[in-house]
Structure 1
């Protein structure tokens, strides 16, 4: 059997040949370069980091399975009768199907290839002279921080899929945590060790990017929708420092830490991270760098199909619509579950998230092509949301509730409900009622974004689909590909 290490020992040129991601960096190499040439100057490191973003955005990671594909199907978010054969098998949890096994293998291989390229960048930049970078130490730290954050996030995605949630089993061997390049043989670490390494990578990364994002190039983070979709013309160092509001920025990394701490069962630290973001950068915070898309932008032919104003972290791929159209072919609608939509967003309850659902076919506008001629609307066709400020509100509300600060928890929860158009006020302090409403919000907010199933998994909370109860049992611990189990 092929060992994991054979996947990891890859040429960085694979990532560098990707093109089209001008949101991050409008440069790419003319041909494959040796390490000595590639990492001789700042431009080479920028190209390499761009390649990592390209890989992460691709069809085997966030471009499908980690967003509208596998993860959403596992959460029963589609009408099973409207999806293709592979997704049909996923929704039936038929893990013995050869195509589904291939899907698992594709995620595993793509994630570890991308992690290997993160490690290559980290290895090279840690020994690089800061004088080769136009912004000296600020730029060197920024690239190093983004690479570490991406490494941490990808390991987190893998442990969510291929291991039990920490609350169920911390001591079982989970996945390898790759910290070096090249790595020939790495045994799997326990869930606990993987989670600690994810947290360390993200904590280190946040300190590395803070100077650029809050001081040197603050303008790239503080202009709301303009920075999100058009970039900032005021950044030092050129295009590479633009579009920070969707990259691994200081706020995004803090938000990911809140997510990771909560998944790990550490509500105290999750509360600290979420509270800081809520009070500083959120629509309710002091600086208000992000907002919530208003109702008028959620409907009509020019709708904001991704409700993008509160997206803190996103990946970007100009081929995203192509992926979705190719998967659907001409036979499948990939409609959302009509009964589930009506349960969570009934027509009688005002909630403008329902405006993203086609009332005839029950397809979602999130992954269908936005045909608007307005630039900022069309820009959303290529965006893959990874983290929203709404999630920070949910984390903050949950951790406040568990800390006994119930009135504050309800205030925060109602803020996001009302921001999405709901006119009712949720007021129960009964834990069962609170968590039911919180999970209902997850289903409304993260529909087809690949997040819902992991909210259920982290708290071992069954899915309720019509009359069917689906427990978070071993079906939700995916099998590591056969070729990678011979350590």
Structure 2
């Protein structure tokens, strides 16, 4: 794999608008990336980690392409009738990866993910070489643990986008797992099984570093979101929902194990989080319901185990998704659904007069700027909330939510009783009452419920394509006239990259 040297320092889409990051932004991508100057102090490590999160939140990564737009188009989530405005999304919708705009989008996503990975590798290497420059062992462990978590998060999505089917694959793919920041070193390409082992090792390392030091064991998430109330010596260690905290890493483990089909480990990790107690002795995190949505917190921030902060989210999200009732849209330019009947189809089986996701997260009658036709648009990222905690409430994009852990636990449990108990609690948070007659009658019924529920719950969070892929689904809810197959689920590596799979 070739890594463009410039990618190491390009950090567009900045989310942390602070002068403390300037040293990191000025780094030259040569041997001095490990230099004593940057990592001679704890502040330097913090600046480097901030830069890593900034790159993660870039619109070419999870700020848009891997949440709202490109990856959702791969799952046929949006209505796109032409390639006039959003060319890459249009060709992704039709799984045409050879068209130039699609190829450029693939290259951009791949490059940005490895940009983040390379920066995480710099921090991991610096912790090994210059870690003694951080006087507090807890601070060092948290920074190193977060870097391992970031690397694993991005490498998992390299696997889910570019890798083979996780089960029963006939098309095998080797992928690079980067563990060095040295741009002169080509990372090793691994088979699917060996790649997963590397992921598992990174996640275990992150957990081992965070389990004894993460402040989430001393304070609740809410307390850490208002650090002035708990008199922390170092506010950088607060805001754990915006950092790779211990429970976020455990959630990522559950996501990985579900994807590869290790249902026992997926279930155990999911239930560990669901049953976990916070520092106050209460449940670690509750499901988000009407209370959040009535405040205009449409992205359910109170149930985020991990999220990214985007200070300008309200400014750019309507140009991608609409969602602002005061703005008309061009349905060829904004990503929306084609008619309320498709939205109602999405909620088949549930009362749309009570289901709070239908009522609050969707703007049902967004008017077209051309002909006055009405389209449902998603307002998940157009929060109306504003307060001192806006950074962790209204300006966030979820990466891991406890809702996902409930779905994982339901799908992987061997107990119908447990599945129904989780289902009842989960749906109560959506204002849907589950009676004995509405309960699942078999574990097969649980499995059949899952795919549609992932789609309802995680629209524009970059989840659905991977759900279709792990099942090797031949159809998608809003994909008409096309049958999916194994090859369409494997994005090609950019043509600029070394590709051992092309010569097999």
The TM-score range, normalised by the shorter chain, is 0.7 to 0.9
Q: Which residue of 1 aligns with 2:180?
A: 180
Q: Does 1:287 align with 2:282?
A: yes
Q: Which residue of 2 aligns with 1:476?
A: 489
Tell me how far apart the structure 1 counterparts of residues 166 and 14 of structure 2 sit (CA, whole Å).
38
Tell me how far apart the structure 2 counterparts of residues 373 and 324 of structure 1 sit (CA, whole Å).
16
Moved more, 78-87 or 137-146: 78-87
Secondary structure in structure 1 of the residue aligned to 2:40: coil
TM-score of the two chains, using structure 2 as the length reference: 0.84
* Bigger relative CO (Cα 8 Å, ≥ 6 apart): 1
Tell me how far apart the structure 1 counterparts of residues 408 and 296 of structure 2 sit (CA, whole Å).
28
> CA-to-partner distance for each residue in 1:461-483, whole Å, 9 max, x for gaps?
34343665743531111011111
Q: Which residue of 2 aligns with 1:144?
A: 144
> CA-to-partner distance for each residue in 1:45-82, whole Å, 9 max, x for gaps?
11001100000100111011210111111112112249
Structural mapping, 1:234-245, within 5 Å:
234=230, 236-245=232-241
> CA-to-partner distance for each residue in 1:239-279, whole Å, 9 max, x for gaps?
21110123100110001001101111111111221121111
Tell me how far apart the structure 2 counterparts of residues 372 and 411 of structure 1 sit (CA, whole Å).
32
Q: Which residue of 2 aligns with 1:312?
A: 305
Tell me how far apart the structure 2 counterparts of residues 90 and 360 of structure 1 sit (CA, whole Å).
26
User: How many residue pairs align between the two structures?
Assistant: 465
Whether the aligned pair in 2 keeps the contact of 1:145 and 1:205 (CA below 8 Å) is yes
Runs of 4+ in structure 1 deviating by more than 6 angstroms, as ranges, are none
Q: Which residue of 1 aligns with 2:446?
A: 434
CA 1:253–1:471 in 2, change beyond 3 Å: closer, same or farther?
Answer: same
Secondary structure in structure 2 of the residue aligned to 1:196: helix
Q: Which residue of 1 aligns with 2:326?
A: none
Structural mapping, 1:102-117, within 5 Å:
102-117=104-119
Tell me how far apart the structure 2 counterparts of residues 406 and 125 of structure 1 sit (CA, whole Å).
46
Tell me how far apart the structure 2 counterparts of residues 378 and 242 of structure 1 sit (CA, whole Å).
13
Whether the aligned pair in 2 keeps the contact of 1:175 and 1:194 (CA below 8 Å) is yes
Whether the aligned pair in 2 keeps the contact of 1:159 and 1:174 (CA below 8 Å) is no
CA 1:120–1:461 in 2, change beyond 3 Å: closer, same or farther?
Answer: same
Tell me how far apart the structure 1 counterparts of residues 73 and 7 of structure 2 sit (CA, whole Å).
33
Moved more, 187-196 or 333-342: 333-342
Tell me how far apart the structure 2 counterparts of residues 308 and 417 of structure 1 sit (CA, whole Å).
18
Q: Which residue of 1 aligns with 2:355?
A: 351
Whether the aligned pair in 2 keeps the contact of 1:10 and 1:113 (CA below 8 Å) is no
Structural mapping, 1:97-136, within 5 Å:
97-130=99-132, 132-134=133-135, 136=136
CA RMSD across the alignment: 2.8
Secondary structure in structure 2 of the residue aligned to 1:29: helix
Q: Which residue of 2 aligns with 1:77?
A: 77
Q: Which residue of 2 aligns with 1:396?
A: 409
Moved more, 147-156 or 377-386: 377-386
Matching residue within 426, 431, 436 for 1:421: 431
Whether the aligned pair in 2 keeps the contact of 1:232 and 1:242 (CA below 8 Å) is no
Secondary structure in structure 2 of the residue aligned to 1:182: coil
Moved more, 327-336 or 345-354: 327-336
Structural mapping, 1:163-312, within 5 Å:
163-169=163-169, 172-183=172-183, 184-213=185-214, 218-219=218-219, 222-224=220-222, 227-228=224-225, 230-231=226-227, 233-234=229-230, 236-281=232-277, 287-299=282-294, 302-312=295-305
CA 1:419–1:474 in 2, change beyond 3 Å: closer, same or farther?
Answer: same
- C-alpha displacement at 1:365, in angstroms? 0.8
> CA-to-partner distance for each residue in 1:419-469, whole Å, 9 max, x for gaps?
111123442333443222122211111111110121121122343436657
